[in-house]
A and B are shown apart, each in its own frame.
Chain A
Amino acid sequence: MIAIFLVLALAASPPDLSGLESAVAAQIAEMRSLADKQSTDPRAWGDLGQAYLAYGFNDAAADCFTKAAGLDPRDYRWPYLLGAAQQAAGRLDEAAAGFSRALKLAPDAAAGWVHLGEIRLLQGRLDDAETALRKALEVPGTSAAAHSFLGQTALARRDFKAAAEHLEAALAAVPEATRLHYPLALAYRGLNDRAKAEEHLAKAGQVGLKPPDPLLDGVANLRVGERVALMRGRVAAQAGRYADAAREFRKALAAQPSSVEARVNLGSVLALAGDRAGAVEQFRDALRLDPANVTAHFNLGSLLPPDEARPHLESVVSARPDDAEARRLLAQALRESGHLPEALEQYGKAIALAPADETARLGEAETLVRLGRYADARRHLEDDLKQMPTSGLLSHALARLLAACPDRSIRDGARALALAQAVWQAQPSAAHARTVALALAELGRCEEAAQWRRRAGDPEEARAGEGCRP
């Protein structure tokens, strides 16, 4: 009697549904009503718990799963989902207890071992983490995730060799899990292999690795409505999971076909995934719904050819005069469509708003060159380099100008060579090798210039036509 009273007293009150999107509130209300009517049915409480968990009501979800587990102690799903709800709430002891109980009932629920291992790792219980994760290694579907956490566990122990082995195994199985390159880089750093550490740092991204988890995937699929799909789409997009993001934004559109935000976001992830035509279609649809939408205008401005892009970018800078990136893109579109004085004006404004924008500074110099204002181009680039002495982009541009400016009075072969060699050393590339060759040609060192053209991979006829005079 006392125990029952305590359980009831500890249960959290049901979440307040006010302010929720109507589809979400209706879904939860319906499940709540079912659970109230069928209060001895563990499935009803379990379903309600999953609905709560899907929308982040973790405490209420935990209460429901506790009730479901009390009504049917043999069903592993309820302690499993209880563990997930407690983990989401940051209560790791309770979460581990839930997963442990579930895994006693269903040891083959492999994702559960991964969750348990992750929890033990967070708790600093490294031996327990390893024990749990090794169980997950035995199941093909979860072995990659298990390897990734075993790698992190080994890293926490400073066992860098084991860490590298596990993380390499995880990446071999799931190469797109780019986030793992970072702990792998740290493992190689610990092994004093700096080259490999830097190689993996360069590959590090934000796509993580999750085990296939039918129960929790089922919870995610319960979500309805536009807002939650929008939010999940944004999270996926930020992690570089563009296909997942597009799926969520399409869900949002299905829930709310007039959602401009969903359409603009869908267009953005399609563009990021390389579907340019699909993206343009979405942005144009968005503008039909909301002709002043600045993001749609901006994105069309960055995707369309210069003449078509211009009006969109002009709409953006009219609405947001301080948008430096839009001004730079407008300047570029103006330059590429031959409106050079107008381009120069926009570049100036973009640089004033974002002084660190090297691309805008380069564009300004290139526009000056196209206007035949070579001395101005040189002066601008020299001023830019005073502000950003380590800029390879601007150093390279100045080297090209000093080496090969049509106005010979602007040229300075010695300085061009010094700049070009520094840029080459920092970043060897064909373009940088060509600039070294141009500087050498300007200095009359034709043989060396030819060698650098060969290094750049230029064909013989191009090398012959460079017109170097010793």
Chain B
Amino acid sequence: MNVRAGRSTLPSPMLLSLLALLASPAPPPPIFTDRAADWGLNFTYSTGQTGELYFPEIMGGGAALFDYDNDGDLDVFVVQGHPLKPGSPDPGPAGWGRLFRNDLITPQGRNPAPRFVDVTAQSGIRATGYGMAVATGDFDNDGRVDLYLSNFGSNQLWHNNGDGTFTDVTAKAGVDDPRWSSGATFADLDRDGWLDLYVLNYVDYSITNNVRCYAPSSRRDYCGPSTFAPVPDRLFRNRGNGTFEDVSLPSGIGRKAGPGLGVVADDLDGDGWPDLFVANDGAASFLWINQKNFTFREDGLLAGVALNAAGKPEAGMGIAVGDADGDGRDDLLITHLTAETNTFYLNLGGGLFEDATARSGLGAPSLPFTGFGTGWLDFDNDGKLDLAVFNGAVNLAGAMGSGPGIASYAQPHQLYRNLGGGRFAMAPEAGPDFQKLAVSRGAAFGDIDNDGDTDILVVDADGPLRLLVNESGNRNPWLGLRLVGKLAGAKAERDMIGARVEVRRKGAPSLWRRVATDGSYASANDPRVLVGLGDASEVTGVRVLWPDGLIESFPPPPLRTYTTLVRGMGKAEGPK
């Protein structure tokens, strides 16, 4: 070895760092890419901000992923806002919600490519209200999914006629609520085969009782919910003849007021009957336990889901429901305001939960942000449910963006990878389109391009719709299931909302998933079940707990494709 003194052969520190940069491995490709514009989803949710700081301007809106034309791919409905004025005048077509049909093309040997076409005009939908949220469900069991729109003002139920058109049947069905509704869910709460309707209400606000509120700095800012009185929710029982009965009071639901922003129907106590969880904004959340006679008992406090572990009510907005720890029970993640954590409630069984935020890793990273749309999704199909949270401030305290008015409320968004054992870590490889600063509200989850991984449609306030397409999840094996059935003399099969699926795997624990469209914020998700299998790709069978209590098992479905399981076509294991 020759060593020379006097002249260094070592590179300078600056050169070293440059070399290190050049030598470092390329960053992983982004998991999600925004393809909204490429695929024809050209839409901007308008808050209609007037400068008057009207409360609804910071709360909307949401979107639905649903197959309205039964052609096997997900179409899109998105609600719309507009400048609020006294008298609620019709804003005209530019201020209406929009329906986009998905004409999915699957070229030979190439990736499926959706093409969205705005079909609002021919659909007959005139969503004229100030739009907050959308719920989906086939309320008349005709095999065609219908739409319920929650508005600041009167709501609308649009019946799907099956020929690409919809009819406003709100008055006939008896399901309007003129107050400020922030969401809804369809669920068969009495297991009679007909989907009932829960309508979530927020606060008693009108633009004529607007109040001037201030930020900690003393600057004028939007008010929070505590400035106004909360409003009770509404429950409508499906009579099975196209009409509903308002059972809000006798069911118990209407006797408790709360500023609700999120609602899910799910069997949270494991007794086979759907319960209702309501995330209230700045007040104790409600857990309505189904008493099996169309009455409900509110049990959130003792159940451990009403407040966080410190006993504080938080600003509940979005809800993610799913079996995050793989024990067969659905857990809850609620998104909250800046300076509060998002809170992870682990389901202990028997209707009891514990706040597991501290040890999960989901709390601390969420503190600077105000979370809205959220969902458990297995973005890499490794068999474990990951978490996506879309953020956007509601006041100056959380503002991280630039620009006038609400634009300054923009925040980045978060994807968490499930590490197993109830632990999560941020997944920075989500990609710039995912993380882009925006004032996000609703997020709908589903497999838009039918390629076997979960995509996300995100509604940003005063920003273009984002369609975050999962580019890599389907590298791992997966199976897709659509669960349908005909109950109560239905005319056609419909999605069996409320069913639970157990996917049995060889050498690995079963995976449990729910059939649902609710959850997230103000939005409706793909009712199909997409199950990532990870390393344990040998499926030994599928067991379904149908919403009416029947349990059936089915042989292993083929992998990497969607299979329809029909109630009554499996091997009965008996009622639960």
A: residues with CB less than 8 A from B are 15, 19-21, 24, 55-57, 88-92, 121-124, 126, 152, 155-156, 158, 179-183, 185-186, 189, 197-198, 201, 204, 206, 208, 225, 227-228, 230-231, 234, 238, 320, 355-356, 386-390
Cβ distance A224 to chain B, nearest Cβ, rounded Å: 9
The complex places the Cα of A238 from the Cα of B259 at a distance, in Å, of 15
Most buried by A among B219, B248, B307, B360: B219
* A231 & B252 in contact (Cβ 8 Å cutoff): no
Q: Does B367 contact A (CB under 8 A)?
A: yes
Let me know if A204 and B311 touch, CB within 8 A.
Answer: yes
Docked complex Cα distance between A126 and B364 (Å)? 13
Which listed residue (A228, A320, A389) contacts B214, Cβ 8 A? A228
Q: How far is the CA of A96 from the CA of B516 in the complex (A)?
A: 41
CB-contact partner of B232 in A156, A186, A356, A389, under 8 A: A356
Q: Please measure, in the bound complex, the distance between the C-alpha atom of A373 and the C-alpha atom of B302, giving whole angstroms.
A: 43
Chain B residue contacts of A206, Cβ below 8 A:
312-313
B307 nearest CB neighbor, chain A only: A182
Pairwise interchain contact A55-B216, C-beta atoms closer than 8 A: yes
Q: Given the interface contacts A186-B354, A355-B249, does A228 sit within 8 Å of B302 by beta carbon?
A: no
B364 touching A123 by the CB < 8 A rule? Answer: yes
- Chain A residues near B368 (CB-CB < 8 A): 89-91
Query: Judging by beta carbons under 8 Å apart, are A90 and B354 in contact?
Result: no
- Across the interface, which residues of B come within 8 angstroms of A189, CB to CB? 302, 304, 352
- The reply to whether A390 and B252 form a contact with Cβ atoms under 8 Å apart is yes
B215 at interface by CB-CB < 8 Å: yes
The interface residues of chain A lying within 8 Å CB-to-CB of B254 are 355-356
Q: Which 9 A-B pairs have the closest CB atoms?
A: A182-B311, A90-B368, A90-B367, A56-B216, A21-B218, A227-B218, A179-B311, A387-B249, A19-B219
**Interface flag for B238 (CB, 8 Å):** no
A152 & B214 in contact (Cβ 8 Å cutoff)? no
* Known A19-B220, A182-B311, A208-B310; further 5 A-B contacts with Cβ < 8 A: A90-B339, A201-B301, A356-B257, A386-B250, A387-B250
A358 to chain B: closest residue by CB: B255
Tell me the bound Cα distance from A92 to B368 in angstroms.
Answer: 10
Hey, which chain B residues are within 8 Å of A389, CB to CB? 250, 295
| A99–chain B nearest beta-carbon distance, Å | 15
In the bound complex, what is the Cα–Cα distance between A24 and B218 (angstroms)?
8
> Which of chain B's residues have a CB closer than 8 A to the CB of A182?
301, 307, 310-311
Query: Counting CB contacts under 8 A, is B490 at the interface?
Result: no
Contact B249 A122 (CB under 8 A): no
B217 within 8 A of A: yes
Cβ-defined partner of B310 (8 Å) among A183, A201, A228, A356: A183
Is B367 touching A122 in the complex (CB atoms < 8 A)?
yes
Smallest CB-CB separation from A180: which chain B residue? B311
Chain B 360-389: CB-based contact to A (< 8 A → 1; otherwise 0): 110110011100000000000000000000
Report the interface size for chain B: residues with CB under 8 A from the other chain.
Answer: 45
A56 to B214, CA, bound (A): 12
Report whether B310 and A152 are in contact in the complex, using a CB–CB cutoff of 8 Å.
yes
Q: Is the CB of A198 within 8 A of B302?
A: yes
Contact with A along B547-565 (1 / 0, CB 8 A): 0000000000000000000
In the assembled complex, the Cα of A79 lies from the Cα of B323 at a distance in Å of 42
Judge if B280 is at the interface, Cβ distance under 8 Å: no
**B368 to nearest A CB, angstroms?**
3
Residue of A nearest to B301 (CB): A201
**Interchain CB contact under 8 A, B312 and A208:** yes
Contacts of A156 in B (CB 8 A): 309, 356, 358-359
**B217 in contact with A20 (CB, 8 Å):** yes
Whether the Cβ atoms of B363 and A388 lie closer than 8 Å is: no
Q: Which residues of A contact B361 (CB under 8 A)?
A: 124
A391, closest chain B residue (CB): B255
State the CA gap A121–B310 with chains docked (Å).
Answer: 11
Nearest-neighbor residue (CB-CB) of B360 within chain A? A124
Which B residue sits closest to A228, measured CB to CB? Answer: B218
| Residue ranges of B at the interface with A (Cβ–Cβ < 8 Å) | 209, 213-220, 226, 232, 248-250, 252, 254-255, 257, 295, 301-302, 304, 307, 309-313, 338-339, 341, 352, 354, 356, 358-361, 363-364, 367-369, 396-397
Q: Indicate if the CB atoms of B311 and A181 lie closer than 8 Å.
A: yes
Q: Give the residue among A24, A152, A179, A186 with the most B Cβ atoms within 10 A.
A: A186
Distance (Å) between the CB of A305 and the closest chain B CB?
A: 26
Shortest C-beta distance, A216 to chain B (Å), equals 14
Report whether over half of chain A's contact residues are helix, strand or loop; otherwise say mixed: helix
Complex formed: what's the CA distance from A90 to B366 in Å? 8
CB neighbours (8 Å) of A15 from chain B are: 217
Residues of B within 8 Å of A55, CB to CB, are 216-218
Please report the C-alpha to C-alpha distance between residue A208 and residue B307 in the assembled complex, in whole angstroms: 13
Query: Would you give the shortest CB distance from B526 to chain A, in whole angstroms?
Result: 32
Contacts of A124 in B (CB 8 A): 358-361, 363-364
Q: Which residues of A contact B338 (CB under 8 A)?
A: 90
Structural contact, A356 and B309, CB atoms closer than 8 A: no
B residues near A390, Cβ cutoff 8 Å? 252, 295
* B302, B313, B356: most-surrounded residue (chain A CB, <10 A): B302
B269 to chain A, nearest CB (A): 15
Q: Report the separation of the CA atoms of residues A204 and B217 in the bound assembly, to the nearest whole angstrom.
A: 32
Q: Tell me which residues across on chain A come within 8 A of B217, comparing CB atoms.
A: 15, 20, 24, 55-57, 228
Nearest chain A CB to B173's CB is how many angstroms away? 20
Q: Are B310 and A56 in contact (CB under 8 A)?
A: no
Q: How far is the CA of A182 from the CA of B361 in the complex (A)?
A: 23
| A55 vs B214: C-alpha distance when bound (angstroms) | 11
Contacts of A197 in B (CB 8 A): 302
Contact in complex: B309, A152 (CB < 8 Å): yes
Q: Which residues of chain B have C-beta atoms less than 8 A from A126's C-beta?
A: 358-359
Contact in complex: B367, A92 (CB < 8 Å): yes
B231 vs chain A, min Cβ distance (A)? 10
CB-defined contacts of A183 to chain B, threshold 8 Å: 309-311
Known contacts A186-B354, A238-B226, A155 near B309 by CB under 8 Å = yes
Chain A nearest CB from B545 CB (Å) reads 28
Report Cα–Cα, A399/B226, bound state, in Å.
38
Does the CB pair B295–A227 fall under 8 Å? no
The residue on B at minimum CB distance from A357 is B255
Q: Is the CB of B364 within 8 A of A122?
A: yes
> What are 23 A-to-B residue pairs whose CB atoms are below 8 Å?
A15-B217, A19-B219, A19-B220, A21-B218, A56-B215, A90-B338, A92-B367, A122-B363, A124-B358, A124-B360, A124-B361, A124-B364, A152-B310, A156-B359, A179-B312, A181-B311, A185-B301, A186-B309, A206-B313, A228-B214, A355-B248, A356-B248, A390-B295
Docked Cα-Cα span, A186 to B338, in Å, equals 26
Question: Within the assembled complex, what's the spacing in Å between the Cα atoms of A124 and B338?
Answer: 19
Instruction: Please report the C-alpha to C-alpha distance between residue A227 and residue B215 in the assembled complex, in whole angstroms.
Output: 9
Q: Pick the contact of B302: A152, A201, A231, A234 (CB < 8 A).
A: A201
Contacts of A201 in B (CB 8 A): 301-302
Q: Are A186 and B218 in contact (CB under 8 A)?
A: no
In the docked arrangement, what's the CA distance between A356 and B254, Å?
Answer: 6
Does A227 lie within 8 Å of B250, measured CB to CB?
no
A124 CA / B254 CA spacing, docked (Å): 38
CA separation between A204 and B213, bound complex, in Å?
Answer: 29
CA distance A400 to B377 in the complex (A): 56
